Chain A
């Protein structure tokens, strides 16, 4: 079965691409494991704006803390010739990944402001990355910022990153946008080469015994796939750029649904964390088997077939679907 797909200008043998996640891509060995288990491409974990700012600050701070103050201890650490802090380690990982892997390597940047840190987009490109996924993770807590202001932040960051690189840039974004289609079109106009739907925001919990905010990571389930599914179907007819689907992709069926809704690739994360890297192969092979058994010519034939433009019931992705669900519930 021909599973070939195009994503961010890259031709991939199939659409299964592990998503940017620290445990999946923490080092070269992990990346190699993904490739060996059939990943069509890898997206490195994100280099955070805060990490770029903080690591530099904290290294300088702690090396100099207490120095030049007391006659007997003018410094507290040896001063090696040069340091490679967090971002450099990341760039080194990109370099090594390009050297060792034969599949495309996509770098990932995570930030919310314009400024010096976007320079790392260029450095990631120089390190050899084939594309960049720009993860804009913005929780709008400031009451003075309107939705228009927030959207402008996204556009500005994207423009700045685009201005620094020649390789394709996709935007990984959250679903909490008032007018998603309009906004997606704005991002496309601002130069996005693709969108990745959706960033599954980390949601803090509360520990009522300790009276603390709990930092527990809950892995996604297939049920969560329905949100990107709807918007994939809605967006596909309006956009010409690449679309990647992420969140809740666990089975070949999950993947097929998203692909039919219009995704060019599907990103696996929780599925791999739960079941190991071989799950990549299983999903890939499952897609192929299903397409074969259902006598599709190729993945291309299926892709976008159930988008809002092509599906038999376009209204299902809109208000009409709500009414239907409510009614069906009542009938039970």
Chain B
């Protein structure tokens, strides 16, 4: 049988087997497991069959709880069924997992083990999720490498059927799920040979069917439950042998031998480490190194963690072992030890006490934690663990990989220690997401992995920011399988694909002495050296690096590649590294270009070919002088004016030194100060908007659409201009109410992402040259310094008194200070303008519950937070609980606020004698429906505080602690459509029904944006999304209509790009409505496949074609005898196709399923028209034709 070697990641390895050996797959996207579901869906959509000759059914559910329910049902009715998940998703599956195991049902869940959210969410890998399902009765099986993932997926499937037990097959999130590695692919014959047809038929024979009716899932009483629960014991007792048998069979078929516990090390080792998952690869590599240096060490790889076979475990440990360290990639606070440690201790102790232990003396066992949330686990740390065991009294309950200066748990390690073999090529590439670096590197790995005898490994580190995202690629190539499951620290090739990185990142700390440093530079070969920062020059000289430069921007421009320098830099890598002979490498690059792009058109292939051909002539080795001459210094990470916390803590994370922060640097409960994005000056725009005060009509549209709050508007006393910097612009404010004031539109030059939304929305034209508007893009570089000064001056100008502004207009709303600024959202994001508007209108009294998703990431991902404070120190308080519970979480805020407000009022009444009857009456009778009313109440609270401060009574102290609740608080529940339409819909629905005053803002991008564009119930008919590769066959759920059916809920559907005035009005109405409010906001998104700069015109088209009707449903109107529904968008003036085919999500379907696309498009048109008529009827009477009210 020929060995087929493939170079793929862990997710693909698992999905490959899962899709081949299952019949039904129920899924829900969650990082880092989403890829498995997406691939399965694509394969099924393409008609790829499983080993039984049929195409598996793939269904996306509304949550992992839903997926688990569907899996349970599919299993009970006899299908071979699987699912993929991680972290919170696995937790949501727990109730069904107990049932599935309790009913002795064979199934395998493939889990990319990921951190469970505690003090913070983390998408990265550890075993806290898997450990949380220990008690469900599922078998737990670990795989540590990409090859093992493929093999483990099949072994568990076979064992599960044989043992009649369900299994979680887990591997480390990101570290294994996203590592690309070369492996031997299983053949269909091998898979078929592992899947026992009798066991499958037995599973099917246990299925529920009316043809052989049974009842399962009874309710039992104290008399019988316990005994019934004990019936399963024999299955658990037999399971390890069944798994072992599957491993034996697997070894016969493939030659790859696995055991329940695998020992690697000296046969006479005295020190042994026990561990699970990808870390054993690094430990394996380290043990080899230590053995070569004469140490007697070994490791036990725990593959089958549940059921835990004490017998097999004890027989695996070398008899010589005297000291054992057990490593857990999880934390169980308050426990006597972490789970694997305790299993090992109890296995040894039980055997010892029972006299069955193979050891004469009970070995010493210590436990330690490592690698939480993908914290690096390096050979140096493995060595530290072994070294700890050398001590007479080794540290127990230790940590390794961090510096714990609080509880002193951490082991010291020598960060210089390395086990990297000399014959492995190690390359690190710094790129921008947008320049295609990662894609090119994945391609290089495939070329080397699949076209040569070399083994290859790739791992990619991404940014938490979506705009201007930086990527770091770690690639290894060598003659043996690569076990290094840690980042490269000593690279022999370092490439900088973006010149600007030189001043931002210390890339050469990755360079080994004598390494190659390749830089993409806009400067010529004679100039490039002098343009390097001094620190870079010094390192090049000190490490004796070979220095290469290429102007890839120029090559890209010449060959029509735009900003994508990927192919060019890839060609340079092959040319310099010599991994392959140069000509052969170029031929292979071209071959792979043809393979990846030929279906996208000959033109794309031609351009890439041309780029490859032009590269070598522009690549130069630069002679390195003996001395550093540059005067260019690396600028400080944050301004020296930043608060201490930002300078000492936040800046370290920004600079890429977060790993070095000690435990003591951290807040104990995950609480952080807000308003810190202002210190992270990223300067990622190439061009920024420049205001033309003479053309400007002062409409405020540029301000309201700016996703990053990088365009600010202010009115101020004209006299203040005297101290303005020389290029600061100002003009007279056009207003009858405020004559004599000055007005400025100011760009934040280093916070702008250059998206251009402001330019597109600006309605004013320069009469002499109408191509110019009142705001125009200009290159950042010459403007950066002067505009920085202008912006600083602008920020120092006092905010205008908000009580005097009529904030119900776009123009005046934009004079309010944004308290959501400079987030890491995509350039041109369609969501953040709404979030920012919320912060402007209500930020100083808002508390925000944020569902997990894009908004929680750009809103709450470290290092910095965009939620900010005003000069009085007030601003939105923000928290993210979970994805599924956001409405309930925010509802909890409301309950507390209502209760504490009531208590405060009760105290005011009770203490009215002491605080003054007049003040008490005013406090209790305050009308807080506008800014003035709120301001007045705040002043009363100041007075109240003054009075209470002198009163020593407990009641006065209580009122003092509650006094702020006398001022109205605004509860906002914010999230995306994945939350509102799918996973959180139940909660959202309930909260609407409860009638309390909460405001729900749905940022509707019509897909799960944060996890990469999976279909939600908000996805429109015919649009392509992941899990809807054939176009969504059903219409978008009309959430607004459903909400209206309650009658007591304020509902608005808005689209800033279509009618910004209606948006502002809807926000104000929703907030003022004393019950539940729901705003559904069209949010254009990168997942729509549009030019983000045109996002607002896409919104307009969506409204004009009827797919996005604008309306406001205000129950207060009913009380006035009016129709509560006002339709704010007019008759349809555009066909759906004219809107939809401007977006890739619809257009792409015409390119592979033209007939389906046409059918769905006609259905979408019909649906838009029917819905329009329906809304017109609903709005009827005085509701129709009131569009002007919210018009511009």
User: Which residues on A are within 8 Å of B, measured CB to CB?
Assistant: 52-53, 55-60, 62-85, 87-89, 92, 116-117, 119, 211-212
| A246 to B1150 Cα, complex, angstroms | 33
In the complex, the answer to whether A80 meets B45 with C-beta atoms within 8 Å is: yes
Residues of A within 8 A of B1154 (CB): 84, 89, 92
**Interface assignment of B381: CB less than 8 Å from any CB of chain A:** no
Q: Which residues of A contact B767 (CB under 8 A)?
A: 211
Known: A56-B604, A85-B601, A116-B606. A78 touches B1151 (CB 8 A): no
On chain B, the residues within 8 Å of A62 by CB distance are 1089-1090, 1144
| Interface check B1010, CB cutoff 8 A | yes
Give chain B nearest CB distance to A124 CB in angstroms.
14
Indicate if the CB atoms of A56 and B601 lie closer than 8 Å.
Answer: yes
A67 adjacent to B439 (CB under 8 Å): yes
B573 to chain A, nearest CB (A): 17
- The answer to whether A71 and B1089 have CB atoms under 8 Å apart is no
The reply to whether A70 and B469 form a contact with Cβ atoms under 8 Å apart is: yes
Docked CA distance A55–B1144 (Å): 11
- Minimum distance in angstroms from B1154 CB to a CB of chain A: 7
Q: Mark B593-619, 1 if CB is under 8 A from A, else 0.
A: 000010111111010000000000000
For the A-B complex with A69-B432, A73-B1012, A83-B599 known, give 13 more contacts whose Cβ atoms are closer than 8 Å: A52-B603, A62-B1090, A66-B1086, A69-B462, A72-B1010, A73-B1009, A73-B1087, A74-B35, A74-B1012, A78-B38, A81-B46, A116-B602, A211-B770
A52 with B601: CB separation less than 8 A: yes
Which of B305-313, B648-656, B681-689, B1023-1031 lies at the binding interface? Answer: B1023-1031
The interface of chain B, by Cβ under 8 A from chain A, is 31-32, 34-35, 38, 41-42, 45-46, 123, 174, 178, 432-434, 436-439, 442, 460, 462-463, 466, 469, 471, 597, 599-604, 606, 765, 767, 770, 826, 857, 1009-1013, 1024-1029, 1086-1087, 1089-1090, 1144-1145, 1147-1148, 1150-1152, 1154
Question: Closest A-chain residue to B853, C-beta based?
Answer: A72
Min CB gap B47→A, angstroms: 9
- Whether A56 pairs with B603 at a CB distance below 8 angstroms is yes
Q: What is the CA–CA distance of A70 and B34 in the complex, to the nearest angstrom?
A: 14
Q: Is the CB of B601 within 8 A of A65?
A: no
Q: Complex formed: what's the CA distance from A77 to B433 in Å? A: 16
Complex: A82 Cα to B1010 Cα, angstroms: 26
In the complex formed, the residue of B with least CB distance to A117 is B603
Q: Is the CB of B1012 within 8 A of A75?
A: yes
Q: How far is the CA of A70 from the CA of B178 in the complex (A)?
A: 12
Bound-state CA distance A212–B765 (Å) is 10
Out of B438, B857, B1024, name the residue touching A77 (CB < 8 Å): B1024
Residues in B whose Cβ lies below 8 Å from that of A58: 1144
A72 touches B31 (CB 8 A): yes
- A80 engages B46 (CB within 8 Å): yes
Q: Do residues A77 and B463 form an inter-chain contact, with CB atoms below 8 A?
A: no
Contact in complex: A71, B174 (CB < 8 Å):
yes
By Cβ-Cβ distance, the 3 closest A-B pairs, closest first, are A69-B433, A56-B601, A73-B1012
Q: Give A72 to B11 CA distance when docked, in angstroms.
A: 13
Complex Cα spacing A76 to B45, Å: 17
Whether B1089 contacts A63 by the Cβ 8 Å rule is yes
A240 to B361, CA, bound (A): 109
Least CB distance from B88 to A in Å reads: 13
Decide: B1086 and A76 in contact? CB cutoff 8 A.
yes
Min CB gap B985→A, angstroms: 22
Instruction: Tell whether A65 pairs with B1089 under 8 Å between CB atoms, given A75-B1012, A212-B770.
Output: yes
Give chain B residues whose Cβ lies under 8 Å from the Cβ of A92. Answer: 1154
B1086 cross-chain contacts in A, Cβ below 8 A: 65-66, 76
Contact of A76 among B46, B469, B602, B1087 (CB under 8 A): B1087
Cβ–Cβ contact A78 & B1024, under 8 A:
yes
Q: Is the CB of A70 within 8 A of B1025?
A: no
**In this complex, what residue of B is CB-closest to A84?**
B1151
**Closest chain B residue to A56, Cβ basis:** B601
Q: Are A211 and B45 in contact (CB under 8 A)?
A: no
In the complex, A119 Cα to B600 Cα: how many Å?
15
Q: Chain B: which residue is nearest A211 at the CB level?
A: B770
15 A-B pairs with C-beta separation under 8 A:
A57-B603, A59-B1144, A63-B1089, A66-B434, A68-B436, A69-B462, A70-B469, A71-B462, A72-B1010, A73-B1087, A75-B1012, A76-B1087, A77-B1024, A80-B1152, A81-B46
What is the CB-to-nearest-CB distance from A319 to chain B, in angstroms, rounded to a whole number? 42
Q: Report chain A residues within 8 Å CB of B438.
A: 68-69
Contacts of A82 in B (CB 8 A): 599, 1152
| Contact of A89 with B1150 at beta-carbon distance under 8 Å, contacts A68-B439, A75-B1012, A78-B45 already known | yes
> Which residues of chain B have C-beta atoms less than 8 A from A69's C-beta?
432-434, 438, 462-463, 466, 469, 471
Check if A73 sits within 8 Å of B439, measured CB to CB: no
- Which of chain A's residues have a CB closer than 8 A to the CB of B463? 69-70
**Are B1150 and A56 neighbours in the complex by a CB distance under 8 Å?**
no
Contacts of A79 in B (CB 8 A): 42
Judge whether B1011 and A73 touch: CB under 8 Å: yes
Task: With both chains docked as a complex, state the minimum distance between the C-beta of A284 and any C-beta of chain B, in angstroms.
Answer: 32
Is the pair B1152, A59 in contact by a Cβ cutoff of 8 Å?
no
- Is B1013's CB under 8 angstroms from A73's CB? yes
A78 close to B604 (CB less than 8 A):
no
A93 to B1146, CA, bound (A): 20
A65-B1089, A72-B123 as given contacts; A78 in contact with B603, CB under 8 Å: no
A59-B1148 CB under 8 A given contacts A76-B1012, A77-B1089: yes
Name the residue on A nearest B766 (C-beta). A211
Docked Cα-Cα span, A58 to B1147, in Å, equals 11
* Residues on the B chain within 8 Å of A119, using CB: 602
Question: A62–B1142 Cα gap in the complex (Å)?
Answer: 11
Q: Is the CB of A70 within 8 A of B433?
A: yes
A59 engages B600 (CB within 8 Å): yes
Question: Which residues of the other chain, B, contact A72 by a CB distance below 8 angstroms?
Answer: 31-32, 34, 123, 857, 1010-1012
Q: Shortest Cβ distance from B287 into chain A, in angstroms?
A: 30
Enumerate chain B residues within 8 angstroms of A56, measured Cβ to Cβ.
600-604
Task: Say how far A160's CB is from chain B's closest CB, in angstroms.
Answer: 15
Q: Are B1013 and A76 in contact (CB-based, < 8 A)?
A: yes
Known: A69-B471, A73-B1011. A59 touches B601 (CB 8 A): yes
The CA of A58 and the CA of B1142, in the complex, are separated in Å by 11
Q: Contacts of B1087 on A, CB cut-off 8 Å?
A: 66, 73, 76-77
> What residues of chain A lie closer than 8 Å to B34, measured between beta carbons?
72
B1151 contacts A59, C-beta separation under 8 Å: yes
Are the CB atoms of B1025 and A85 closer together than 8 Å? no
A67 to B596 alpha-carbon distance, docked (Å): 15
Please give, as numbers and ranges, the residues of chain A lying within 8 Å of B35 by CB-CB distance.
74
Partner of A66, one of B123, B466, B765, B1025: B466
Asked if residues A63 and B1148 are in contact (CB atoms below 8 Å), the reply is yes
Verify B41–A78 contact, CB threshold 8 A: yes
Which residue from chain A places its CB closest to the CB of B1153 in the assembled complex? A80
Question: Within the assembled complex, what's the spacing in Å between the Cα atoms of A252 and B546?
Answer: 79
**A235 vs B603: C-alpha distance when bound (angstroms):** 38
A88 vs B34: C-alpha distance when bound (angstroms): 32
Inter-subunit contact A57/B1029 (CB<8 Å): no
Give A162 to B1152 CA distance when docked, in angstroms: 31
Least CB distance from A26 to B in Å reads 12
Known: A77-B1144, A83-B1151, A211-B770. A68 touches B604 (CB 8 A): no
> Is the beta-carbon distance between B1026 and A78 smaller than 8 angstroms?
yes
Within the complex, which residue of A70, A85, A212 is in contact with B600, where a contact is CB–CB below 8 Å? Answer: A85
Task: Closest A residue to B1026 by CB, please name it.
Answer: A78
